[in-house]
C-alpha cells in the first residue's frame, strides 16, 4: 500500500518525441503510473483517474490581485475563464466563481475549511523558473477523488496582460488561467499542440482562451452529461467572501519549493499532483520589467 506520509513536489511536464501528434488524444491525470507520472504505483496499487465528486466546484480570487493587471479586470476575467469550462453542453460539470478571499495558502487541511483559490505571486515565487503558472491538486490516492485545487500565477517573473490587441499582449491572463483550470478539473498535458492543455505558451498567445476538440473530448469523458446521477444546476452552491482561518501563515513556500503535505488523519492516502504551463523559447527566465 502507498505510504500515507509520502510527500512529493513535482512539476508535471509531458515530453513526446518521434511519434506523430495524430496518434494521441487528451490525457487524464491519474493517481499513479509509469514515468513520466510523478507518482509511481506501488505493489498491489491500481492507477485511478482523478476527478471531482460533485457537479459544482467553487473557485475564489485572492483579493491581493497583482500589480500587472487592474483588479477590476481580474474580477472580469476570472468568471469568464471559469465559464469556458462550464459551457460545454456535453458535460454536467460547472466551475462557479465564488468571489474574493484573503486565503493565499496552497493545499488542503482536513482540520479547517478549505477554498480553491486563484493567487498571484508578485514576490516569493517558490517554484522552478520558466513556469508561468502552476496548479496544485490534492486528491485521494485510493479513489482518485479531488478534494482541493489551487492555482498560482508567476507574476514575479512574467508580465501578465489582459488586452484585446495581440500586438500588446505579453503573457495573456485568460490564456493562462483557462489552461490551469484544465488541470483543476483533472486533465494533464496533451501532446496536441493546438489544444488548450498543451504544455507551453509563447508570448502573445491567446488561443488557449477557448477549448479545442481535444480538450472537449477529455473534459466530457470525465464529466459526461449522460451521467444522470449528477445535476448541472448550481443554485444551491454557496458563494461569497471566503475568510482564511485565523492563525494561519502565508501560503508562499521557501526557495526549494512550496510546502507540500498529504492529507492527515484521513482514511486511505492522498498526494499532490502539479500541472504547470511553461514559457517557451526566449521567455525562459526572462527578467520582469519594473513596475
Q: Per DSSP, what are the bridge partners of residue 279?
A: 201
Name the band, by pLDDT with cuts 50, 70 and 90, for residue 271: low
Q: What whole-number distance in Å separates Cα of residue 223 and Cα of residue 30?
A: 15
From first CA to last CA, the distance across the chain in angstroms is 50
pLDDT in tens, 187-236: 999 999 999 999 999 999 999 999 999 999 999 999 998 765 666 678 77
Residue 3 reports pLDDT greater than 80: no
**What angle do helix axes 71-86 and 173-185 make, rounded to 10 degrees?**
40
- What ranges do the domains of the chain cover? 25-230
> When comparing pLDDT for 245 and 24, which is higher?
245
Q: Check whether 260 has a pLDDT greater than 80.
A: no
User: Chain-wide mean pLDDT for the chain?
Assistant: 81
Section 71-100 average pLDDT:
96
CA pair distance 116, 59, nearest whole angstrom: 5
Q: Which CATH number fits domain 25-230: 3.20.20.140, 3.40.390.10, 3.40.50.300, 3.30.420.40?
A: 3.40.390.10
pTM: 0.84
250's grid cell? 502565508
Give how far Cα 78 sits from Cα of 20, 93, 143, 271, 284, Å: 35, 17, 30, 27, 26
pLDDT for 23 equals 46
pLDDT at 39: 82
Amino acid at each position: 500500500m502507498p505510504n500515507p506520509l509520502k510527500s512529493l513536489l513535482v512539476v508535471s511536464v509531458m515530453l513526446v518525441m518521434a511519434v506523430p501528434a495524430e496518434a494521441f488524444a487528451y490525457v487524464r491525470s491519474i493517481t499513479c503510473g509509469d514515468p513520466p507520472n510523478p507518482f509511481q504505483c506501488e505493489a498491489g496499487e491500481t492507477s485511478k483517474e482523478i476527478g471531482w465528486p460533485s457537479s459544482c466546484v467553487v473557485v475564489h480570487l485572492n483579493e491581493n490581485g497583482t500589480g500587472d493587471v487592474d483588479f477590476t479586470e481580474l474580477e472580469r476575467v476570472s468568471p469568464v475563464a471559469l465559464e469556458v469550462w462550464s459551457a460545454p453542453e456535453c458535460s454536467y460539470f460547472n466551475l462557479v466563481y465564488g468571489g474574493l478571499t484573503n486565503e493565499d495558502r496552497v493545499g488542503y487541511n482536513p482540520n479547517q475549511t478549505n477554498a480553491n483559490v486563484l493567487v498571484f505571486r508578485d514576490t516569493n515565487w517558490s517554484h522552478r523558473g520558466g513556469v508561468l503558472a502552476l496548479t496544485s491538486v490534492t486528491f485521494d490516492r485510493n479513489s482518485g477523488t479531488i478534494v482541493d485545487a489551487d492555482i498560482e500565477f508567476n507574476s514575479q517573473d512574467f508580465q501578465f496582460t489582459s488586452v484585446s490587441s495581440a500586438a500588446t499582449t505579453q503573457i495573456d491572463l485568460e490564456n493562462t488561467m483557462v489552461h490551469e483550470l484544465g488541470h483543476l478539473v483533472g486533465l494533464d498535458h496533451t501532446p496536441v499542440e493546438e489544444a488548450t492543455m498543451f504544455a507551453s505558451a509563447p508570448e502573445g498567445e491567446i488561443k488557449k482562451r477557448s477549448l479545442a476538440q481535444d480538450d472537449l473530448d477529455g473534459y466530457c469523458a470525465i464529466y459526461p452529461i449522460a451521467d444522470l446521477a449528477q445535476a448541472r444546476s448550481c443554485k444551491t452552491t454557496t458563494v461569497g467572501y471566503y475568510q482564511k482561518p485565523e492563525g494561519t501563515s502565508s501560503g508562499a513556500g521557501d526557495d526549494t519549493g512550496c510546502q507540500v503535505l498529504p492529507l492527515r488523519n484521513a482514511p486511505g492516502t492522498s498526494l499532490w499532483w502539479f500541472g504547470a504551463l511553461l514559457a517557451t523559447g526566449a521567455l525562459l527566465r526572462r527578467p520582469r520589467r519594473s513596475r
